[in-house]
Amino acid sequence: MNILILFLAAMLAMSPALAGPGAHGPNGEHLDAPAASPGAVLPRVETFSEAFELVGQLTGGELSIMIDRYETNEPVLNGVLEVQYKNLKAKASFHADMGDYAVDDPALLAAISKPGAHPLLFTLVAGEESDLLEGTLQVTQASEEDAHDHDHAAWNPWLLAAIAAAALIAAVFAGRRLRQRKEARA
């Protein structure tokens, strides 16, 4: 019975460190998103106009874009968004489940994934409103693939919990066994 109580106490102590799917951190970041290696900066573009603000991030094989109304911070949902880089244009798909727009055009992604500064033009139509937003996507030498090269070294929290529980159980059994031997000698 004591072993079960110790195991449950260890699991409860660790539970705040384990985030569920869709959990958000203190700065609004998704805690279940793939972690980048320390020091890695994911390519990002931020821009705004009098009516809208836009934040885009190059990750997971797409350019993910969030758009809000500038004055109210209300998300702009179900709009029509087109992204242009030099002579390449691609229409973004709206993901209702995530509330973002995503560009997955291979030619555009290949062009903007190279290291450097990439000026982008966003054409947004939201209901009766339309706007042009310009921003620059900065891509550093450390690409997203580099950030994922070290993911194999990360330990799964559940694996760590299982190892800790097994070590705790083994220590309790070893302690009992030693006590039984001492009692048998006496």
Q: What is the pTM of this model?
A: 0.57
Q: Which is higher by pLDDT, 38 or 96?
A: 96
Q: Which is higher by pLDDT, 72 or 11?
A: 72
Number of domains present in the structure of the chain: 2
Asked if residue 67 and residue 116 are part of one domain, the reply reads yes
Beta strands in the chain (DSSP E): 44-48, 52-59, 62-69, 80-85, 88-95, 100-103, 116-126, 129-139
Four-point Cα dihedral 78, 80, 86, 87, nearest 10: 130
Stretch 182-186: mean pLDDT, rounded? Answer: 81
Taking the C-alpha atoms of residue 77 and residue 32, their distance in angstroms, rounded to an integer, is 23
Question: Going by C-beta distance under 8 Å and a sequence separation of 6 or more, which residues neighbour residue 145?
Answer: none
Neighbouring C-beta atoms of residue 88, cutoff 10 Å: 14
Asked if residue 142 and residue 51 are part of one domain, the reply reads yes
Largest CA distance in the chain: 90
Asked if residue 112 and residue 58 are part of one domain, the reply reads yes
Asked if residue 74 and residue 114 are part of one domain, the reply reads yes
pLDDT of residue 165: 75
In a domain, 17, yes or no: no
In a domain, 64, yes or no: yes
What is the residue-wise DSSP string for 59-79?
Answer: ETTEEEEEEEETTT--B--S-
In a domain, 74, yes or no: yes
Stretch 6-17: mean pLDDT, rounded? Answer: 52
* Dihedral sign of CA atoms 4, 10, 14, 15 in order: positive
The structure tokens listed for 30 are 């998704």
Asked if residue 179 and residue 103 are part of one domain, the reply reads no
Q: Which is higher by pLDDT, 162 or 111?
A: 111
Asked if residue 60 and residue 127 are part of one domain, the reply reads yes
